Amino acid sequence: MPKKILLTSAKANMIWQFNKRNIKILQSLRFQVHVATNFEQFGSMSADENEKLKKWMHENGVIAHQVDYLRKLGSMSANLKSYRQLREIIKTNHIDVIHAHSHMAGVLGRLAAHKEGIPAIYTPHGFYFFRGGPKKNWLIYPIEKFLSRYTDT
């Protein structure tokens, strides 16, 4: 039975723009690939591209899951809803590892992986903590530092 990996991103455009090749690599390593993202508020791509992504995933055997992520911090209730959706996907589909992309998916994905006792990979897309960077970016540094203990790779 193949190992199951869940790629997650707050918006579907991250999967379309950055992760199609990663999906193919994971499949070549005999992983069953699941994707959890927001296909309804899909980010910086057109509705047509969103449909192409869903079709590409279906044609390539990728299992899609809708998670109602908000892009930014959102509200506590919206984030709890996304967190619960992720945990349910992990439990129901017997996911072996989670690979999170984007900030909110990274935070919620690592917390869900920790709670479910599975490894977490986090790929940040951008460096937000750098000398001379905006002060507001540094406000989330304590969260990232804390979550590093729940990040395996």
* pLDDT computed for residue 71 by the predictor: 64
Task: Dump pLDDT digits (tens) for 87-103.
Answer: 999 999 999 999 999 88
Res 129: pLDDT: 65
Relative to beta strand 97-101, strand 120-123 is parallel
Q: What does the domain layout of the chain look like in residue ranges?
A: 4-150
What CATH topology corresponds to 4-150?
Rossmann fold (3.40.50)
All residues at 6 or more sequence positions from 123 whose CB lies less than 8 Å from its CB, including other chains: 99, 100, 101
- Separation CA 67–CA 72 (nearest Å): 14
pTM confidence score: 0.91
pLDDT score, position 89: 98
Residues of the chain with pLDDT under 70: 71-74, 126-129, 137-139
The pLDDT score that the predictor gives to residue 24 is 98
